[in-house]
Chain A
Amino acid sequence: MTPSLSRRTGSQSALVRGLRNSRSLIGLGMIGAIIALAIVGPALAPYSPSELVGVPYDIPNPDTLLGTDSLGRDVLSRFLYGGRNLVWMAIAATTLGLSIGIAIGMASAYFKGMTDEILMRLVDIQLAFPSVVFALLFVTMLGPSPLLLVILVGVSQAPSVARITRGAALGVVERDYVQWARAVGIPTRRILMSEVLPNITSPLLVELGLRLMWSISLLAGLSFLGYGIQPPNADWGLMVNESRNALTIQPWAVLAPILAIATLSIGGNMFAEGMSRAIGRTEGTK
């Protein structure tokens, strides 16, 4: 399963090469579109997300283009407002997960020995708690705050990133120029940041897409179980939860946020898929 390291060149070219693949471009476009929607959405919303504009579960009409939700609030407005939380939280959690994972993975590969063993066993311990269980416990303990959710989702993503990073970095740290840099006493942090990291960006770009997808799925799932963003906030995951019972009588309150979540998530997936194709690796791992 070891990726062919010899074909790796540098970070810029990996990204550029990756983006030459139409899939990663489309994926990036989808992600961009949803981010844009989340940012400008509130400005376009006809009502405030909490305003009561009609009776519960009214079907689409000229006043409320996508109908109303369980409390008679405008679905379109809530939809336009509801992306902000999920988007920033997913991006923040992914960034956090990647940062922690990369740090652990590189340290593990670079220092080897005891450090490697301890770090990898920590990763095992963390992996032993499924993300949902992990989040469930902590949210119950500390209360559902957005920051906590970001940390929980981020941390639960870190172990698999660490494994991928370690796997890729193991080959790189053996190379002559890294050994040379080490021998002449260049600070470890600089070696890791400027020699090791740039040479393992390809699998990490794949991982970025996959992690984004997982973050979204996990955040939305937690909202669905009632452990995520709390009412009366407008949030896509919460919207699905609040109106899912009425799928047959007012589908838009559920379909609109699902379509957005799916677009974001498929975008992440296609980006990963395109990246790995362009880079020569065919599929990322979990």
Chain B
Amino acid sequence: MTNASRAASRTIRGWLVRRSALAILMLLIVSFLIFCATQALPGDVALIVLGKEASADQVQMVRQQLNLDQPVLVQYLRWLTALLQGDFGTSLVSRVPVTDILLPRIMNSFFIVTLSMAVAVPVSLALGVLTATRKDGLADRTIMAGSIMVNALPEFVLGLFLVLLLSTSVFHVFPAVSLLSPGKPIWTQTDRLAMPVITLILLQVTYLYRLVRGTVIDVLQTEYVQFAALKGMSPRRILFRHVLPNALVPAIQAAGTIFAFSVGGVVVIEYVFGFPGLGTALADAVGMRDIPVVQAAVLVISVTFFVVNIITDIVSFMLTPPGRGGRN
């Protein structure tokens, strides 16, 4: 290990510790905000549990059973204490532990997001580099136009079109609804994942590839690349020596952001395909005022965001070629 790299690893460690401490502090703030926001949801949980036939007595009874009578702050502290012990509480609606409801859903969402990213990231890198090196050619223009269109359509519209195209009207390749059997592992039911995964891939690639393309074009215009070309370095070597390492960092940062956003933000896509994921669980729980589930789901999404952010930061930190700027 050279002195320089030892120094670098020390800085990484210090920076990492600071980053993590800050993330934990922010998570605390976020958790309090989540708790306050969810406690303030209008609508009486007791009534929803009982339905519209409930009498006043019955409602009062359920309300007491559910401890809805205590002050919000007391409830928050209790919630947080339990949370730190790994107890996410019990669903008000189905009366089972929140983890029982959410864990499979979280796994499902992570699975399709990871699967789609595993395809989208390499495809985006390839497309980005390809179109950047053939800037303004026919392929570049066509792909760009296509990606603008896909990107411009609201997610649900894209989903609806894909259903018409691949499931119900034109072709009948994939099932339109992601009816996963809860008893079987998700990876054995790939046919049912196809539609949401394809939709995600399309959305991710059309965004990510343009970012790669932009960065590559930027790098190609820099003086040192121009200089390398003048020196007679082969275009392929320029690409691998100079362009790709520089294009990779923003791409990875963006990929991290996309991952975090996809996990929490696929509500609409999950809804279109009836996919049993975190997004639909959250939307259902909000509708039913199942507060513990809402709180846990939102918290999971926030934690994902912070963790992914830290990971992408570390990766970009390590990949940033020394002496060429790096993060600001």
Contact = CB atoms under 8 A, between A and B. Distances in A.
Interface of A: 1-2, 121, 124-125, 127-133, 136-138, 140-141, 167, 170, 213, 216-217, 220-221, 224-225, 237, 240, 244, 247-248, 254, 258, 261-262, 265-266, 268-270, 273, 276, 281-283, 285-286
Contact of A128 (B250, B306, B328): B306
B214 A221 contact: no
The size class of the interface chain B forms with chain A is 35 or more
B164 interface: yes
A283 B37 contact: no
**Max chain B C-beta neighbours (<10 A), residue from A140, A170, A237, A248:** A140
A53 to B, nearest CB: 26
B283 A136 contact: yes
Contact of A130 (B218, B265, B328): B265
B211 to A, nearest CB: 6
B20 to A, nearest CB: 13
Contact of A261 (B29, B40, B41, B154): B154
Given A244-B156, A258-B153, A262-B152, 13 more contacts: A1-B249, A128-B305, A130-B264, A136-B286, A138-B37, A213-B151, A225-B267, A225-B271, A254-B160, A262-B149, A276-B214, A283-B210, A283-B214
B24 to A, nearest CB: 12
A220 B154 contact: yes
Contacts of A217: 152, 154-155
Contact of B152 (A121, A213, A254): A213
Contacts of A282: 213-215, 217-218
B41 to A, nearest CB: 6
Contacts of A283: 210-211, 213-215
The binding surface of chain A is classed by DSSP as helix
Given A167-B328, A225-B271, A285-B211, A133 B149 contact: no
Interface string B18-54: 0000100010011001000110111000000000000
A2 B328 CA distance: 8
B169 interface: yes
B282 interface: yes
B254 A137 contact: no
Contacts of B33: 125
Contact of B328 (A125, A127, A170): A170
Closest 10 A-B residue pairs measured CB to CB?
Answer: A283-B214, A282-B214, A265-B152, A130-B264, A130-B265, A128-B302, A266-B152, A220-B154, A128-B305, A282-B217
B164 A247 contact: yes
B149 A128 contact: no
Contact of A244 (B148, B160, B211): B160
B257 interface: yes
Contacts of A1: 215, 249-250
B154 A224 contact: yes
Contacts of A285: 211, 250, 254
A167 B286 CA distance: 37
Given A129-B302, A258-B153, A221 B268 contact: yes
B246 to A, nearest CB: 9
Contacts of B286: 136-137, 140
Nearest to A268: B152
Given A137-B298, A266-B149, A286 B207 contact: yes
Nearest to B43: A140
Contacts of A248: 164, 168-169
A216 B41 CA distance: 26
A141 B40 contact: yes
B41 A128 contact: no
28 contacts: A2-B325, A125-B29, A125-B33, A129-B30, A129-B264, A129-B302, A130-B264, A130-B301, A133-B265, A136-B282, A140-B287, A141-B37, A167-B328, A217-B154, A220-B156, A220-B157, A225-B283, A244-B156, A244-B160, A248-B164, A248-B168, A254-B160, A262-B157, A266-B148, A266-B152, A268-B152, A285-B211, A285-B250
A138 B286 CA distance: 10
B110 interface: no
A213 B268 CA distance: 17
Interface string B120-154: 00000000000000000000000010001101111
B169 to A, nearest CB: 6
Nearest to A267: B152
Nearest to B169: A248
Contacts of B153: 258, 261-262, 265
